[in-house]
Amino acid sequence: MFDLPKNILFRLDELSETYGLDKNEARAYSELFKNYRNQNFKEMNFSHAIAYALGRMPATYGVIKYVLERFKNTGENFSNILDIGAGVGALKIALQDCEINYEALEKSEAMRKVFRKLNGDNSKIYSKDFQKFQAETSYQAVFASYFINEIEDKILALKKIFDLSEKYVFILEPGTPSGFKNILEAKKIAAELDWYPLLPCTTRDCKLSDKDWCHFSIRLPRTKHHMKLKNAALPYEDEKFCYVIFSKKETKFFKNNIIIKRPIKKSGHTIFDVCTSDGIHRVVRTDKASKKLQWGDQL
């Protein structure tokens, strides 16, 4: 489910070969991650953008696929979307088989260049800084994936995101306490602006603190570049993330009692940590149906 499409894998190979970055990729990758660790989101150069495409984008793509799949299951839909801080186009790739009008903002020239190499020159990606962006059209959905954590004034950015959207707002963040803090901030602003959380749960008043943060995990296949850049032995990795989707209108869709940790499977029973309206509870189930439930599902 989280494998990159074949045409994109092919273009990633081409990128790696054409720019002869092979020897430099690992260095660019470790520089990139040192910058991320130090919260130093300085302008990226072309090598960094290629390293992002080869070493990081496969994971953000997987998370986006997971979130879009969950959204689809709610029965809601949209026909156009604005992708803020699009990077090399993980969302565009995830939507490549859908009839959805896609537009993007990306301030880094290097990221835009790699975006076009992967997604074609006709892509509607604008060289605009989000903070200065004035929309000329309206968007049914606005998507911010691994973006808020890079922005200094998060409250202002979140308010603007809600302002730009007519129907849905998607916020995806790293699966860390600080990523979850941004999700809580988004929930607070959403409540003030009268938007409703749709996923991962419909609870407006989140009882979790960032000490027990709500996050999820997917297992991703690693591409050959990915393995090389990370010097990895295993052909897969687990990517942890936080997310929230808001709807402008209250929907009939209802979801709470979410399994917020990996279920512990024992012989004859399964143990779940479930987020309920009065906090986290440990629940033990012995029925067969429960065995199939996964982290992120509703109990």
Write out the residues near ligand SAM by the rule CB under 6 A.
Answer: 57, 60, 85-87, 90, 105-108, 111, 129-131, 145-147, 150-151
d(CA 283, CA 287): 12
Q: Quick one: tokens of 45?
A: 């150069």
- What is the smallest separation between the CB atom of 46 and ligand SAM, expressed in angstroms? 13
The nearer residue to ligand SAM, 160 or 187, going by C-beta atoms, is 160
* CB closer to ligand SAM, 38 vs 267: 38
Q: Of the two residues 16 and 60, which places its CB atom closer to ligand SAM in the complex? A: 60
Least distance to ligand SAM, CB of residue 86, Å: 5
Q: How far is the CB of 231 from ligand SAM (least distance, A)?
A: 22
CB 201, min distance to ligand SAM, A: 22
Q: Which is nearer to ligand SAM, 147 or 213 (CB)?
A: 147
- Cβ proximity to ligand SAM, 159 vs 285, nearer residue: 159
- Cβ neighbours of residue 72 closer than 8 Å, sequence gap 6 or more: none
Amino acid of residue 38: N
Rounded least distance, CB 73 to ligand SAM, Å? 21
Measured from the CB atom, is 147 or 180 closer to ligand SAM? 147
CA nearest to 297, candidates 232, 206, 216: 216
* Shortest distance in whole angstroms from residue 39 CB to ligand SAM: 12
